[in-house]
Structure 1
């Protein structure tokens, strides 16, 4: 219908939310992920079950999927009544999203690239000295040495002189490390030789093109790097064997599968005629990331249940949520326009049924900022991107051209440094909310990063809002996506126009002021503030100040009640990094707010797990102007209760 909107189809960089009246050539790329599935504002969805390059076209007259290869027309129509219902059906069809470890929801620091063992360990040490929270550090490529040894899955670079000590040192500071692995191998690697013997390497140009690691590449010295065939189960076994023996044995905590689309350079149509285990590459092209990610997940699950799989990857296909993967948006070029485009990229990706997504905070390339970190416009952009990243499923700073560690931006007491630190610390205060939302994703097929049409389908104004979204079902996030302080005059505060969806009242997270929905307002946005609004009826747990996610257990939580509507929230807890939750070892505490009678009901705790607090304190705060707001602990709480796991009614009249 003319007034119908559709969403999903993966991730593109055009900055548009509604996917009506567009034409897409769907073939996986660095910054574009294609998933042939969309959700309609009319409450239905359609999954075109085809893996080959496909043209999607929508006009006022018709909507068409046209694929290059197919044994037959194969599609699924789903009616769910609303977006959540459709996505639930898609996940019932293609797989449930497992839980990530708690520590993956903390802050991640990365760059292209840490060039030595001492450097990467030193970054973690510096964060601990500064008192800025950090849970993860990421080692990018070339720890294996030269390009002929590409992706050897071993530390053959002499700068990494004792990788076991490196991992142990990072773990000793209560941080985690994940590492770059690829789908391609250099001709001098053991994997290359073994895969070549079973004809599981493909013939087309991929990254890196040159055997030299100098830039620009010397193409007269070709690297000989070839992409492997993850459709071949024997090839997946070989891949895992070397990953397990070379890296997992050291205690590496997770995998960064880069170039999982994979990189296809100097494209020729005949390249798609390469043979895979499941037919021509053309037939299965878009499912490549699904198979390569799935190979790692499946093998690790067979290996151990003591450590949850965590995969960061650059591309995705339908169903990838079942393989413990968080997809990032690729090597985007930093700009204000690109920042805004990440919002719609993440929302449409999430509306494609895959709930875990993130972007390179600050943008990967700094081509538009030749002065790099010396450019005040870039420093401002970085802060605003980081504020957005704090409200994504993964908060990860990464890029090339300039390092992004907090201390590269100044020191404590300076506006940019303080703004960065504030956003990171806010992320940690919200971990009980974020982790409980992750459980809602796993248990109930929910979505973490939510386009406004998911929660406000009857408000026509939200159908194409491309710079606001819900993070979980309670927090409205309105990132600042334009420059306001280029001259770094932070004393003159600027404002942002934003829309509050109708049908509910909203509370300004920072001030506690209550505002009716259905209107556009102005919000002052100093450099260290991202506009956040909390829906009336919300019960929001605020966690402790910590240096890493598991430093303190969640006793003495501040429970903020946003009055004006009935509401409920389920606090979820488990051991944090194993699969015992699949055996029922976890706990849920349901909080319910009766707005008319001003009663908070804390229900009987359901379940238990080793190390669980049997008795705990909750500090209850009824949010009001300048009370129970922002990122500071509320000293004068309204009530404090001791909870023994049994139902309690707390009256506030």
Structure 2
């Protein structure tokens, strides 16, 4: 009350006595690339100092300190090597000071400390919220720090994307809460991208809430009624499934069985593995509006409100999933409420929390709220479009290192190949069946059972690891990726070496906590540069020296011990070399990949590094690291949620993403399926495979049943035929895909593109969470419903669209019901596109990409730039690559292939292009043996051909 009165009085005084404002007490000074403002106003949450720096014409850096000094520490995310001198100017009034570049401006209110950002013409882009900044002093393991918050105003039409990878099936995060907390299946990246063509990079490593930062409340924050009408609780029934009896019935007000430590809350003697639990009654709220319910679940869960089924999911007991669902409720109205839960395991997890409707005054805002930091530190990035904003993110955090070309091919994996013969047998089966393959993945436990972290092959199961790798390379032309965890079992020589030097987190060992195999372990401290070097040296000595091609860096959240409360997780990674685990919690995967990348490049400066990691953070793209979406379930709803997860990850500035095609964890009904379940299993994998062929990296992986195409279905089955078709189609598209990869480095491009990137004028695309662009030409529309033979999809406006398979033309700006028979996923090509297809190949470097077939989709002018380099080394960083730009003119119906730019060793000097022109009146199927419109013989010089 006092604060509100004080602010009112302050505002009144400003109006009556403008000469006496606190602006006169605020002092700013120029520094090399900006200004520092000393705030003397008594409003402590403004901060004591504000630094506003120009990083580039469209990038400002803001640092707000609650003290008289700024914290002087090196950012883990942002690199300084790309800083350049930018021309800027300064203007001031009695109450504000502004910095102008040639593109944008930033203004600091000298009274309130609020910052606003404007276009060159003065139009507002973004403004900090009044009283939207706070510093709360905290202590983390004796380390002084602050809980930090910065809020921004948000226009009603704004949509918000990025922020990493999350499993809530959301595309637009406006009005939602996004929790940046590294976890198996959730990836925290503190970069927000707006459809208003700006971004915020929040330079903080602690657990952070973004958007609606209010705390989710226990279920008891609602009014609860039992089945008997008693107020204050729900009726919980713990049933024993085998005996079909109720083991116990009791009153429960909160449902919170989130972690291992919560298992004791269940009724004593109750066997979850045989259980069926129901919570029933009624609920009501003191508010009208959308109530968001956050459910953490393992096993089978169904939730009904007012008879409507809102949640129907399954997740393996050892790795719970999460979901957020909204329900419209009217104040004080009672709603029927029911939860039905089958734990499906002896240890299983369930919690349900809720968030009341957003207050009216908070609807058009979002905020960053971090647990720990020395000061508020963020970057504002503007651009003409989303690509430019992402380009600004890469300027700050580093280029997206170009992956080896073979990584664009197909990878086969499973949990796990247990022997050398088993692994080689799978690769041979692919080659015998002529199913294209570039990479085989060797998952965990190639070591002896009790020797995790030794990096040693179990000689009983892998008697000749060197010979196996040589055979993969020389006979089968296949790369080998191997699993390496940041984990060490006590007792082996690697543990002893790391422990002796103080490079391990000790708490898990002191606690004598065992993992799921029954052994005690811990992780190394990736924040320690000496520990990172030692970790790589062990990998190099034991694995890289054998010829390993790539690294699968698992459990990099870090998952020292699963299913523990957050505070316990912090204890297990404490202390870090840099400071408290609270302060640096989210940055472990970045530092882990940094050590491997820098170590391999120092060991072998020639061959490209490739890392696949289960978690990520801002800047990871500079360390040749891709991310996969973790141990997701083999369910239709999980497949669908990967679409928005992958797109938002890509919109976070990191271009390389993948998933376990088919899902990782499998329901028991699929392990020994009846005919009905087998049919669904095959269709699920087929649909997922179709989707997986059009993400940046194409990789099949999961638990039993085995995931190889020929193990899913026989050759005569439509599932097998469809999966082989899409595998081969991806390899045909390799010139297109590798050009996208080249563009991601050279032009800061994005491969898996949210629709708002290419169709920003079409507001209908803002909330679409089940379609995306693969490159700028292909509209991908996964089918994620069982037995579906069609799906509804939206064709963005402003352009026409061609159905890929038959060339039929459709007007944009409409929703259609597209045909989607079992073997086909709907794909549409944007009008005015050139899509190059290469020859049919079994692996990416089997033969030169000549002849190329260019499908030209007319109706509008089109262009495409073919990118090529040596594919396996870093010569592209030194200029060893070529580009060939192709331009189609609709008015003259001619194709111009421009002069080749650049060169590299092994380049095809003379090549052949076969051209197939498609327009709205002349549809043509996706066939490579059809009549060619024109054949062009090209030797590197510009040539124009009438079509």
For the criterion TM > 0.5, the same-fold answer is: yes
- Are 2:658 and 1:358 aligned? yes
User: How do 1:38-117 and structure 2 match up within 5 A?
Assistant: 38-58=192-212, 59-117=362-420
Q: Which moved more, 1:189-198 or 1:372-381?
A: 372-381
State the shift of 1:272 in Å.
Answer: 2.2
- Does the aligned pair in 2 maintain the 1:334–1:368 contact within 8 Å? no
- Are 2:688 and 1:385 aligned? yes
SS in structure 2 at match of 1:521? strand
* Partner of residue 119 from structure 1, selected from 422, 440, 443: 422
Q: What is residue 240 of structure 1 aligned with on the other side?
A: 536
Q: What is residue 227 of structure 1 aligned with on the other side?
A: 523
Closer, same or farther: CA 369–210 of 1 in aligned 2, 3 Å: farther
State the shift of 1:209 in Å.
Answer: 9.1
Paired with 1:586 and 1:47, the residues of 2 have a C-alpha distance of: 32
* Partner of residue 166 from structure 2, selected from 12, 33, 39: 12
SS in structure 1 at match of 2:901? coil
State the shift of 1:305 in Å.
Answer: 2.8
Paired with 1:210 and 1:238, the residues of 2 have a C-alpha distance of: 25
User: How do 1:248-263 and structure 2 match up within 5 A?
Assistant: 248-263=544-559
Q: What is residue 194 of structure 1 aligned with on the other side?
A: 497
State the shift of 1:324 in Å.
Answer: 0.6
Q: What is residue 445 of structure 1 aligned with on the other side?
A: 748
State the shift of 1:248 in Å.
Answer: 0.6
Q: What is residue 455 of structure 2 aligned with on the other side?
A: 153
Closer, same or farther: CA 125–211 of 1 in aligned 2, 3 Å: farther
Paired with 1:601 and 1:473, the residues of 2 have a C-alpha distance of: 20
Can you list the C-alpha shifts for 1:507-527, whole angstroms capped at 9, x where unaligned? 110001111101111221111
- Does the aligned pair in 2 maintain the 1:114–1:120 contact within 8 Å? yes
Structure 1 unmatched ranges of 5 or more: 486-493
Paired with 1:295 and 1:131, the residues of 2 have a C-alpha distance of: 38
SS in structure 2 at match of 1:69? strand
Q: What is residue 34 of structure 1 aligned with on the other side?
A: 188
- Does the aligned pair in 2 maintain the 1:204–1:271 contact within 8 Å? no
SS in structure 2 at match of 1:259? coil
Paired with 2:179 and 2:923, the residues of 1 have a C-alpha distance of: 52
State the shift of 1:268 in Å.
Answer: 5.5
Q: What is residue 169 of structure 1 aligned with on the other side?
A: 471
Paired with 1:370 and 1:303, the residues of 2 have a C-alpha distance of: 45
Paired with 2:568 and 2:807, the residues of 1 have a C-alpha distance of: 61
Paired with 1:276 and 1:41, the residues of 2 have a C-alpha distance of: 37
Paired with 1:210 and 1:623, the residues of 2 have a C-alpha distance of: 64
Paired with 1:163 and 1:256, the residues of 2 have a C-alpha distance of: 17
- Are 2:732 and 1:429 aligned? yes
- Are 2:766 and 1:612 aligned? no
Can you list the C-alpha shifts for 1:69-104, whole angstroms capped at 9, x where unaligned? 101111111111321111110010000001111111
Paired with 2:943 and 2:817, the residues of 1 have a C-alpha distance of: 40
Can you list the C-alpha shifts for 1:566-590, whole angstroms capped at 9, x where unaligned? 1110111111100111111111111
State the shift of 1:267 in Å.
Answer: 3.2
* Partner of residue 23 from structure 1, selected from 160, 177, 196: 177
Paired with 2:507 and 2:410, the residues of 1 have a C-alpha distance of: 37
SS in structure 1 at match of 2:467? helix
Paired with 1:332 and 1:142, the residues of 2 have a C-alpha distance of: 20
Superposition TM-score, scaled by structure 2 size:
0.65
Q: Which moved more, 1:158-167 or 1:21-30?
A: 21-30
Number of residue equivalences = 634
Q: What is residue 106 of structure 2 aligned with on the other side?
A: none
Q: Pick the structure with more strand per residue.
A: 2
* Partner of residue 589 from structure 2, selected from 289, 302, 313: 289
Closer, same or farther: CA 271–11 of 1 in aligned 2, 3 Å: closer
- Are 2:735 and 1:581 aligned? no
Closer, same or farther: CA 234–367 of 1 in aligned 2, 3 Å: same
Q: What is residue 824 of structure 2 aligned with on the other side?
A: 529
Paired with 1:368 and 1:112, the residues of 2 have a C-alpha distance of: 16
Q: What is residue 698 of structure 2 aligned with on the other side?
A: 395
- Are 2:605 and 1:305 aligned? yes
Paired with 1:311 and 1:498, the residues of 2 have a C-alpha distance of: 35
Superposition TM-score, scaled by structure 1 size:
0.94
Paired with 1:647 and 1:595, the residues of 2 have a C-alpha distance of: 18
Q: What is residue 488 of structure 1 aligned with on the other side?
A: none
Paired with 1:268 and 1:508, the residues of 2 have a C-alpha distance of: 48
Q: What is residue 568 of structure 1 aligned with on the other side?
A: 863
Larger radius of gyration: 2
Query: Which structure carries more relative contact order (alpha carbon 8 Å, separation 6+)?
Result: 1
- Does the aligned pair in 1 maintain the 2:670–2:705 contact within 8 Å? no
What is the Cα-based RMSD across aligned positions, in Å? 1.7
State the shift of 1:626 in Å.
Answer: 8.0
Paired with 2:441 and 2:473, the residues of 1 have a C-alpha distance of: 13
State the shift of 1:462 in Å.
Answer: 0.4
